[in-house]
Amino acid sequence: ETGVTQTPRHLVMGMTNKKSLKCEQHLGHNAMYWYKQSAKKPLELMFVYNFKEQTENNSVPSRFSPECPNSSHLFLHLHTLQPEDSALYLCASSQDLLGSRGNEQFFGPGTRLTVL
């Protein structure tokens, strides 16, 4: 138990569906992240939020729409996804932004997404 929870743990959706992934951290951290792990590809950092403000969008298609209403919650809204978007989506948090000296990230268990 890392203090970062994600729901749902598994999601199957059609290409025309709209769904949302939720991440919540109980650690009092200021920064939150979305990562994507596709089969046979390196882990990819998608979005970074710091104090609820988006600080990074790593060329993620607009069919992925993040939302950070407060420092404890992070959502990833999904619409008109493609089968190649099927992947494990991981959320993480850290006290301060990634790379700060001694700054450690904590990851959630991930949501396994399948797009049919």
Partner 1 sequence: ILNVEQSPQSLHVQEGDSTNFTCSFPSSNFYALHWYRWETAKSPEALFVMTLNGDEKKKGRISATLNTKEGYSYLYIKGSQPEDSATYLCAFRTNAGKSTFGDGTTLTVKP
Q: Which residues bind partner 1 (CB under 8 A)?
A: 2, 4, 42-45, 48, 55-56, 58, 90, 92, 98-110
- Kindly write down the DSSP assignment for every residue of the chain, as one continuous string: --SEEEE-SEEEE-TT-EEEEEEEE-S--SEEEEEEE-TTS--EEEEEEETTEEEEE-S--TTEEEEEEETTEEEEEEES--GGG-EEEEEEEESSSTTSTT--EEE---EEEEE-
- What's the min distance (Å) between Cβ of 18 and partner 1? 26
In the complex with partner 1, the residue whose CB is nearer, 10 or 101, is 101
Closest by CA position to 93, among listed 25, 36, 13, 9: 25
In the complex with partner 1, the residue whose CB is nearer, 44 or 67, is 44
- What's the min distance (Å) between Cβ of 52 and partner 1? 18
In the complex with partner 1, the residue whose CB is nearer, 50 or 71, is 50
In the complex with partner 1, the residue whose CB is nearer, 55 or 114, is 55
- What's the min distance (Å) between Cβ of 90 and partner 1? 7
